[in-house]
Structures are given as C-alpha cells and as structure tokens.
C-alpha cells in the first residue's frame, strides 16, 4: 500500500489531516485492516463490489488501531461524528457494522434457554 491508496487517503480525510503530511504508521494500519477484512469477505464478494463503504470501513478500523491510546480525536463522516467522549472501540464497531452484510458469519449466535 502506498500514500495514494484510497483507504489511506480516506483515513487521512477522516482525521482531518492534510494529504501531504505523511503518517507511515497509519499507512501500515490501513494495510492491516484491508488484509483482515479481505480474509473475512464472503465467497464471491470483492472489495470492488462494496464500493466506497470498503474504503471507509477499512479506514475506520485503521484509525481505531492508530488511536488505541486515549487522546483527542474529533471528526465527522456523514451522520457519524466522533469526539474524545466516544471510546475508540466505537470506531472498530462502526467498521464491522458497515461491512457486516459482506463478511462471513463469525459463528456467534444467541440461543434461547427453556426455563
């Protein structure tokens, strides 16, 4: 992945960082998020089938890795806004929710218990 990759550019945009300001660690997290989500895609689905949601979800997951330690983080993406009051884990959850229809079932299920 290079500095012109759409996922990296999306992450910079969400963070409000100028594209000329290089963040090599964020670039690595973007690559890691893309690899992880590609491995979890349902059979027959590619990132190209998902469109812009793919870049946004991967960027959110990358930012969640980039910002694991508490710190000031504020940005807005459509109807989703984030400030330091919202835990960084919410970024990861949002990324997962965006891609949920395209990912393999993780095997988790709720089961009822007869009482």
With a CB cutoff of 8 Å and minimum separation 6, the contacts of 52 are none
- Written as six digits, the tokens of 97 are 């929710």
Name the average pLDDT for the chain: 82
Which of 2-11, 16-25, 58-67, 82-91 shows the lowest per-residue confidence on average (mean pLDDT)?
Answer: 82-91
d(CA 9, CA 2): 10
- Beta strands 80-82 and 75-77, pairing class: antiparallel
pTM: 0.75
Task: Identify the H or E element spanning 76.
Answer: strand 75-77
The 3-state DSSP class for residue 2 equals coil
Rounded mean pLDDT, 7-35: 88
Q: Which residues pair with 80 in a beta bridge?
A: 77
Residue 9, pLDDT > 50, answer yes
């Amino acid at each position: 992945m290079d500095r012109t990759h759409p996922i990296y550019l999306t992450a910079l945009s969400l963070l409000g960082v100028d594209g000329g300001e290089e963040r090599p660690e964020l670039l690595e997290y973007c690559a890691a998020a893309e690899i992880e989500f590609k491995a979890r895609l349902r059979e027959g689905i590619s990132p190209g089938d998902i469109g812009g949601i793919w870049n946004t979800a991967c960027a959110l997951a990358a930012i969640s890795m980039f910002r694991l330690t508490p710190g000031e983080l504020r940005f807005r993406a459509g109807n989703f806004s984030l400030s330091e009051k919202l835990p960084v884990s919410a970024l990861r959850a949002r990324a997962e929710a965006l891609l949920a229809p395209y990912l393999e079932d993780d095997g988790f299920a709720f089961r009822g218990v007869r009482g």
